[in-house]
Amino acid sequence: MERENAWTSYSATELKKVGTFAEEYRSFLSDCKTERECTAFFVEKAKAAGFSDLKEIIAKKKKLKAGDKVYASNYGKAIACFVIGTEPIEKGINILGAHIDSPRMDIKQNPLYEDTDLALLDTHYYGGVKKYQWVTLPLAIHGVIAKKDGKVIEVRIGENEDDPVFGVTDLLIHLAEEQLKKPGNKVVEGEALDILIGSQPLKINAKDKDKEKDKVKQNILKILKKTYNIEEEDFLSAELEVVPAGKARDFGFDRSMIMGYGHDDRSCAYPSFEAILDVKDPKRTSACLLVDKEEIGSVGATGMHSRFFENMVAELMSAAGQYESDISVRRAFENSKALSSDVSAAFDPAYASAFEKKNCAYLGRGIVFNKFTGARGKSGSNDANAEYIGELRRILDKNKVFYQTAELGKVDVGGGGTIAYILGNYGMQVIDSGVAVLNMHAPWEIISKADLYEAYKCYLAFLKEA
């Protein structure tokens, strides 16, 4: 059952839509490289589209009705958007769930040091990465620094053409004989992923001989103080993420693909959000949930394991005059249907031995459905019901959505997880569905523009008709 390539069936009008949607996404991907930046972007765009802050609705004791649109931000790192349907919420919600965090390096709380006239920042990698992929790249620093007085300083260095960039050094090939004998996961060790940030020592006056130590570090601190009013101790209350510097780019002579940082999982989050913006007067309440921390197990207050979404649904029902008791919320979740919008591994002919060709995803053949993920014997996976997949096939075919099904590599080779099983814990129907990605978890990943657009079409059709 080989699936058709979407590009071969597009009319001139559809090709234009694919190109426009991809260009808007490419701009988003270039500008939003952290979960905070993504959330700020989505909040601003939701407000412009007429969504109201649910927490303000609650505070003012306003009543919600069918057609109303609301959002809720979770510590500025996650967001939930809702469009109230004509049916009671207790009958279920159509949910699009994705994550907006991506693999990266985080700067440690006590990071700054000097070694042999070089100043460096100590990092701790975040999520599953091949550490050797992060050396000799131009890197940028994004994030926030919270001062003791409550002021929060936003940091974004390395993206403008006149900004400096940073990087992790590597051993030259002439001296790397022993290094190259190591297995891939040991070629570069985690503690070696420190970023080089300076080499010029502070000029010390003769009378200040007591300041001779760590003059390069002192110079960096002087620059930070002058530019950002940051003291060394302020790193203790900072969240600074090291990401690839530079914009997402069209990829290939035919410009059919996009290379960028963070396709996993922003290539699913963006079309999910665009889909809920375009929902009009739904029968069932629609929701788009974009969460943090998926790459490290969906933990913490901003991850899927938190009670944030559950609490917001309870508040939504209360504001709509539909909350009778906790059982109402439980019924709403059990009657809900969800697409866990997460990426899948695209077949790569350079590494064909890792894939089973009949059951893998291909660039250009549409959105990918993974009935299950997990590892090896489906361990740790959500496994979608056949009846639910049958319903989704009907919706997709009716709306002329290109789609394919896949597993994440060969049975004894692949493995991975999403937020699907967490949603499934509520008893709702859920399946993984997303965009196929080459170079997944690398600093620069690749997707097909056609798959991105088909994901949007799928998500919109699901919200309208599931």
State what percent of residues in the chain have pLDDT above 90. 90
Choose among 98, 423, 112: nearest CA to 275: 98
The stretch 74-103 carries a mean pLDDT of 97
Question: Stretch 413-439: mean pLDDT, rounded?
Answer: 92
Domains and CATH numbers, the chain: 6-102+261-465 (3.40.630.10), 104-244 (2.30.250.10)
Is residue 381 pLDDT above 90, yes or no?
Answer: no
Q: Quick one: average pLDDT of 388-396?
A: 97
pLDDT computed for residue 172 by the predictor: 96
Q: What are phi and psi of 27, to 5 degrees?
A: -65, -45
pLDDT given for residue 136 in this prediction = 97
Ranges 20-29, 51-60, 371-380, 387-396: which has the least confidence = 371-380
With cut-offs at 50, 70 and 90, classify the pLDDT of residue 170: very high
Tell me the backbone φ, ψ of residue 312, rounded to 5 degrees.
Answer: -70, -35
Average per-residue pLDDT in the chain? 95
H or E segment to which residue 56 belongs? helix 54-59
pLDDT (tens digit per residue) in 191-247: 999 999 999 999 877 666 666 789 999 999 999 999 989 999 999 999 999 999 999
Q: Distance of CA 387 to CAs 241, 393, 423, 429, 431, Å? A: 42, 10, 18, 10, 12
pLDDT for position 206? 62
Read off the pLDDT of residues 239-294 as tens digits, 9 standing for 90 and up.
Answer: 999 999 999 999 999 999 999 999 999 999 999 999 999 999 999 999 999 999 99
Q: Label residue 409 by pLDDT band (50, 70, 90).
A: confident
In this prediction, residues 395-401 reach a mean pLDDT of 97
**What is the CA angle 358-359-365, rounded to 5?**
90
pLDDT of residue 209: 63
Q: Over range 415-439, report the average pLDDT.
A: 93
Long-range contacts of the stretch 397-401 (C-beta < 8 A, 24+): 398/461, 398/465, 399/457, 399/458, 399/461, 399/465, 400/457, 401/366, 401/367, 401/454, 401/457, 401/458, 401/461
pLDDT over 70 for what percent of the chain? 98
Tally of CA atoms within 13 A in the half-sphere of 318 that contains its CB: 15
In this prediction, residues 52-78 reach a mean pLDDT of 96
Q: What is the pLDDT of residue 410?
A: 86
pLDDT single digits (tens) 8-22: 999 999 999 999 999
88 and 100 Cβ atoms separated by less than 8 Å: no
| Closest C-alpha among 100, 125, 252 to residue 192 | 125
Instruction: Verify cis geometry, omega within 30 degrees of 0, for the bond prior to 68.
Output: no
